[in-house]
């Protein structure tokens, strides 16, 4: 079986679903002949034709808006934005319309759309190419927000997203587009949405992250393991709706939690998860939940992006604080 | 001073269309569809649209309806557009289109429900696949382009019958990127889309002159490479004919076109607005002289097929229909509390069950 990268898994999922369902159409800027700026749609136009893999004029709001018209007529549009920073012109269409059509028409029309965008920093890109503003979408009722963290999950979750009857914002952590290879069975099997995945079991502390930062999070877990501390690592995967049950189940074993994301701290998703832990699992905690996040600043140009991005040392510091709090604290 | 020599690369014309002038006289031979029966039917529907609007405003004033955008004075556009469309075509409207909605088969009580704060008013699955009305300006034009793509795709790839999309917006909509992005794409992709601009001269308080330096709104289509036309928006025959031709072009694979229908908003922007603050009285008075119902009635009278008795009979019939719709609207109990979750997602995600349960028993 072929070992493929995350971005190749995206291509594979798109190809599988286009083959299976003639109502799937793929469009965006440069997605056709050029195969997308990250090559996520490479070869699809040659295989499925110009009628199903379409290069659009350069207008992101338009891309977001026409997807709605296609979807309410029963197609399954998959719209690509070149970078998350370029989605913003389309926010009005995504938030005001895609997310609300089903509700607005009391179920008569729905928007089974996937809005795909590479997101996150760490690839030395220019400004507006490293955004991690997923909380914008997580806040909006009616949307689903999915972030894969490995080739296999990218494949399975993207299939699920395309088949879902509602709009899904599918953010692809571009820092790990090609960082790892993994065997992926191209059998069309989707992974469940709205579910977190336990990547590593442990009994001492729960580490929660999504997307590219799971790489550093797992490194921290490995390092802790050499010291005899076993961390449970959870990949949130679907950021909205949130699978709080998997987190609570984990806290029943570990009683300690660190949340890790590269988005800015204020109103970041970590705040929501921490708040839900507080509401549902306060009695389980032996230490306050800690967040390791990006700073409340603009994502810097790439010379300073390593300053901004959480890495192993910052995660480790937070983990130690949480562990030490438990050791010497009231618990 | 140096004067560079330049060559003319292209030139463009904007045509206008009118059949019936403001005094009810024909300005040219009428198109084939304009039989006495059809014209009476159009007159009837414009009269109904005006009555529905009038009653809506009265209900708003007495606390029985929320904010309502009347289409007083521009009934010819809504009715002309709605009547020219095939049932199978898909309409993607803005919010001031009561006449078109009625033509499309949406019930009066559903229109009242929408403005009475009940989403069920936009679930008119009994008549059509039309999109719900759109409150933000021009956003629906992109949905229209997407619908047009889907209809073309479903015809060419999946063998479904030929259909087209029609989208409408006001003069203010032509200042939005969504409008330009929609016509640009429709032209580029040759989509079966008809864009109708309801130029009623006012975007709330901003007059047409403050909206754009363009001499006509129709000429904006030139930039997108699609054909366009200005019609007398108070002449229902012209609107009907223009939409019919545009739809024929779309159905035949000829791509999109745009129609600027020139009219005047003879009412406040909505019931929350006071147009006397900005509309010059002289202009309003003049506009009343051009309004669409009167001129068609004069014409019907000149044909000897309309008079006071027909008018009285029509008023009586429509009033009865309206009263029944108002009764249904008033007697419809509000939706159950849990409905706010019922249609948020196809299936309620587990994460929201707790909130849903808070509302259960509250219904």
For residue B2, what pLDDT is reported? 87
Q: Which of A52, A96, A107 sits opposite B123 (nearest CB)?
A: A107
Residue of A nearest to B189 (CA): A56
Which one of B101, B129, B150 would you mutate to disrupt binding with A, by most A Cβ within 10 Å of its Cβ?
B150
| B108 CB neighbour count, 10 Å cutoff | 23
* Contact (Cβ atoms closer than 8 angstroms) between residue A208 and residue A236: yes
Q: Does B181 sit within 8 Å of A57, measured CB to CB?
A: yes
In chain A, positions 2-31, which contact chain B (CB-CB < 8 Å)?
Answer: 22-23, 25
CATH code for position B208:
3.40.50.970
Tell whether A139 is covered by a domain. yes
CB atoms within 10 A of CB B189: 19
Q: Are the beta carbons of A73 and B92 separated by less than 8 Å? A: no
Distance, in Å, from the CA atom of A80 to the CA atom of A85, rounded to the nearest integer, reads 12
Best A65, A111, A248 residue to mutate vs chain B (most B CBs within 10 Å): A65
Cβ atoms of A41 and A35 within 8 Å: the answer is yes
Interchain pair B153, A75: CB under 8 A:
yes
Taking alpha carbons only, the member of B219, B183, B215 closest to residue B13 is B219
Task: Report the predicted TM-score, pTM, of the whole model to 2 decimal places.
Answer: 0.97
pLDDT over 50 (residue B265): yes
CA B8 to chain centre: 38
Domain count for chain A, please give it: 2
Q: In A202-315, where do the E strands start and end?
A: 205-209, 231-235, 238-240, 257-264, 290-294
Q: Note if A128 is an active site residue.
A: no
Active-site residue (options: A124, A128, A129, A255): A129
- Residues of B with CB below 8 A from A96's CB? 136, 139
Range of the domain at B346: 337-363
What number of CA atoms fall less than 13 Å from residue A88's CA on the CB side? 7
pLDDT at B233: 98
Residues A209, A258: one domain? Answer: yes
| pLDDT surpassing 90 at residue B15 | yes
pLDDT at B361: 74
Per-residue confidence (pLDDT) for residue B362, from 0 to 100: 63
Question: What CATH number should be reported for the domain holding residue A237?
Answer: 3.40.50.920
d(CA A79, CA A82): 10
B239 plus B358 within the same structural domain: no
Q: Tokens for A226, please give them.
A: 């050499």
Whether A191 maps to a domain, the answer reads: no
Do residue B156 and residue A68 have CB atoms under 8 angstroms apart?
A: no
What rounded mean pLDDT belongs to chain B?
97
Is residue B102 scored above 60 in pLDDT?
yes
Structural domain count, chain B: 2
pLDDT of residue B1: 76
Looking at residue A327, its pLDDT comes to 54
Nearest Cβ partner of B351 from A23, A67, A241? Answer: A241
What number of C-beta contacts closer than 8 Å exist between A and B?
153
Residues of chain A found within 8 Å of residue B125, distances taken between Cβ atoms: 108
Strand partners, A233: A200, A207
Cα separation, B212 vs B231, in Å, equals 19
pLDDT tens digits for chain A (331 residues)? Answer: 789 999 999 999 999 999 999 999 999 999 999 999 999 999 999 999 999 999 999 999 999 999 999 999 999 999 999 999 999 999 999 999 999 999 999 999 999 999 999 999 999 999 999 999 999 999 999 999 999 999 999 999 999 999 999 999 999 999 999 999 999 999 999 999 999 999 999 999 999 999 999 999 999 999 999 999 999 999 999 999 999 999 999 999 999 999 999 999 999 999 999 999 999 999 999 999 999 999 999 999 999 999 999 999 999 999 999 999 965 544 4
User: Are B253 and B239 in a shared domain?
Assistant: yes
A188 lies in some domain: no
Question: Do B248 and B345 belong together in one domain?
Answer: no
SS3 of chain B: the string is: CCCCCCCCCCCCCCCEECCECCCCCECCCCCCCCCHHHHHHHHHHHHHHHHHHHHHHHHHHCCCCCCCCCCCCCHHHHHHHHHHCCCCCEEECECCCHHHHHHCCCCHHHHHHHHCCCHHHHCCCCCCCCCCCECCCCHHHHHHHHHHHHHHHHHHCCCCCCCCEEEEEECHHHHCHHHHHHHHHHHHHCCCEEEEEEECCEECCEEHHHHCCCCCCCCHHHHHCCCEEEEECCCHHHHHHHHHHHHHHHHCCCCCEEEEEECCCCCCCCCCCCHHHCCCHHHHHHHHCCCHHHHHHHHHHHCCCCCHHHHHHHHHHHHHHHHHHHHHHHHCCCCCCCHHHHCCCCCCCHHHHHHHHHHCCCC
Task: Report chain A residues whose CB lies below 8 A from the CB of B177.
Answer: 59, 61, 89
How large is the ipTM?
A: 0.96
**Contact between chains at B142 and A164 (C-beta distance less than 8 A):** no
Question: Would the CB atoms of B124 and A142 count as touching at under 8 Å?
Answer: no
CB contacts, 8 Å: A106 with chain B:
119-120, 122-123, 339, 342-343
Same domain, B227 and B353: no
Instruction: Assess whether pLDDT exceeds 90 at residue B143.
Output: yes
In a domain, B199, yes or no: yes
Using CB atoms, pick whichever of B151, B346, B349 lies closest to residue A73: B151
Which residue, among A63, A73, A165, would best test binding to B if mutated, counting the most B CBs under 10 Å from its CB? A73
**With an 8 Å Cβ cutoff, are B139 and A65 in contact?**
yes
Smallest CA–CA separation between B68 and chain A, in Å? 17
Starting at the earlier edge strand, list the strands of the sheet with A53-55.
A53-55, A24-28, A76-80, A114-119, A168-173, A144-146, A238-240
Contact B134 A97 (CB under 8 A): yes
Q: What is the DSSP letter of A230?
A: -
A235 part of a folded domain: yes
- DSSP 8-class letter at A296: S
The minimum CA-CA distance between A142 and chain B, rounded to whole Å, is: 5
> CB A65 to CB B342 under 8 A?
no
- Identify the CA nearest to B229 among candidates B213, B216, B214, B248: B216
User: In a 3-state reduction of DSSP, which class is residue A167?
Assistant: coil
Contacts of B146 in chain A (CB under 8 A): 65-73, 77
Q: Are residues A119 and A224 in the same domain?
A: no
Q: Please give the pLDDT value at position A331.
A: 44
- CA-to-CA distance for B138 and B172, rounded, in angstroms? 8
The nearest alpha carbon in chain B to A53 belongs to: B153
What residues of chain A lie within 8 A of the CB of B119, using their CB? 103-106
Mean pLDDT for B35-63 is: 98
Same domain, A179 and A203: no
User: A13 and A144: one domain?
Assistant: yes
The parent domain of residue A119 ranges over 3-183
**CA–CA min distance B233, chain A (Å):** 27
B192/B253 same-domain check: yes
A204 and A174, same structural domain? no
> For A72, which residue in chain B has the nearest alpha carbon?
B147
The pLDDT tens digits of the residues spanning B148-165 come to 999 999 999 999 999 999
Say whether both B122 and B266 belong to one domain: yes
For testing the chain A interface, which of B122, B181, B339 should be mutated: the one with the most A CBs within 10 Å?
Answer: B181
């Amino acid at each position: 079986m072929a070992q493929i990268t995350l971005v190749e898994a995206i291509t594979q999922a798109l190809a599988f679903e286009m083959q299976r369902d003639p109502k799937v159409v793929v469009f965006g800027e440069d997605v056709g002949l050029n195969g997308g700026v990250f090559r996520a749609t490479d070869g699809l136009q040659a295989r499925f034709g110009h009628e199903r893999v379409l290069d659009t004029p350069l207008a992101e709001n338009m891309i977001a808006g026409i997807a709605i018209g296609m979807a309410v007529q029963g197609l399954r549009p998959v719209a690509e934005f070149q970078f998350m920073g370029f989605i913003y012109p389309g926010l009005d269409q995504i938030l005001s319309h895609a997310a609300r059509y089903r509700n607005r028409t009391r179920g008569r029309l729905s928007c089974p759309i996937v809005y795909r965008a590479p997101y996150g920093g760490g690839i030395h890109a220019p400004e507006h190419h490293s955004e991690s503003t997923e909380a914008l979408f997580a806040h909006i009722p009616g949307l689903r927000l999915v972030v894969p963290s490995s080739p296999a999950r990218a494949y399975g979750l993207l299939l699920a997203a395309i088949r879902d009857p509602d709009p899904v914002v599918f953010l692809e952590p571009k820092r790990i587009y090609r960082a790892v290879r993994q065997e992926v069975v191209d059998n069309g099997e989707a992974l469940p949405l709205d579910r977190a995945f336990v990547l590593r079991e442990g009994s001492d502390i729960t580490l929660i992250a999504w997307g590219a930062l799971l790489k550093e999070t797992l490194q921290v877990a490995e390092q802790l393991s050499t010291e005899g501390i076993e961390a449970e690592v959870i990949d949130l995967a679907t950021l909205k709706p949130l699978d709080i049950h998997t987190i609570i189940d984990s806290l029943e074993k570990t009683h300690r939690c660190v949340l890790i994301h590269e988005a800015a701290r204020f109103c970041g998703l970590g705040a929501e998860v921490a708040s839900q832990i507080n509401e549902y699992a306060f009695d389980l905690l032996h230490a306050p939940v800690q967040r390791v996040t990006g700073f409340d600043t603009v994502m810097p140009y790439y010379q300073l992006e390593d300053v901004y991005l959480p890495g192993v040392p910052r995660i480790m510091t937070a983990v130690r604080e949480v562990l030490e709090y438990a050791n010497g604290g009231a618990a | 001073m140096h004067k560079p020599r330049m060559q003319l690369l292209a030139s463009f014309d904007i045509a206008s269309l009118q059949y019936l002038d403001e005094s009810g006289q024909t300005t040219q031979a009428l198109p084939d569809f304009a039989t006495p029966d059809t014209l009476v039917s159009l007159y009837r529907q414009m009269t109904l649209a005006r009555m529905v609007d009038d009653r809506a405003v009265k209900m708003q004033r007495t606390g029985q309806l929320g904010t309502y955008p009347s289409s007083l004075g521009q009934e010819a556009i809504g009715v002309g557009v709605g009547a020219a469309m095939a049932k199978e075509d898909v309409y993607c409207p803005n919010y001031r289109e009561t006449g078109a909605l009625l033509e499309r088969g949406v019930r009066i009580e559903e229109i009242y429900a929408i403005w009475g704060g009940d989403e069920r008013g936009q679930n008119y699955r009994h008549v059509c696949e039309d999109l719900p009305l759109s409150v933000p300006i021009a956003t629906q034009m992109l949905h229209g382009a997407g619908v047009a793509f889907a209809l073309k795709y479903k015809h060419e790839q999946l063998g479904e019958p030929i259909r087209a999309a029609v989208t409408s917006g006001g003069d203010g909509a032509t200042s939005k990127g969504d409008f330009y992005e929609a016509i640009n794409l429709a032209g580029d992709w040759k989509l079966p889309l008809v864009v109708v601009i309801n130029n009623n001269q006012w975007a709330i308080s901003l007059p047409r002159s403050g909206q754009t330096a363009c001499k006509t709104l129709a000429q904006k289509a030139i930039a997108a490479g699609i054909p366009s036309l200005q019609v007398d928006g108070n002449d229902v025959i012209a609107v009907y004919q223009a939409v019919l031709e545009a739809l024929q072009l779309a159905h035949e694979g000829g791509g999109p076109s745009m129609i600027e229908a020139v009219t005047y908003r003879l009412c406040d922007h909505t019931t929350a607005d006071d147009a006397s603050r900005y509309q010059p009285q002289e202009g309003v008075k003049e506009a009343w002289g051009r309004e669409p119902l009167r001129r068609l009635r004069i014409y019907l009278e000149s044909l000897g097929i309309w008079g006071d008795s027909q008018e009285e009979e029509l008023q009586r019939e429509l009033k009865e229909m309206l009263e029944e719709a108002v009764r249904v609207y008033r007697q419809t109990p509000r939706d159950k509390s849990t409905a706010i979750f019922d249609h948020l997602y196809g299936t309620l995600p587990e994460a929201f069950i707790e909130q849903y349960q808070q509302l259960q028993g509250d219904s």
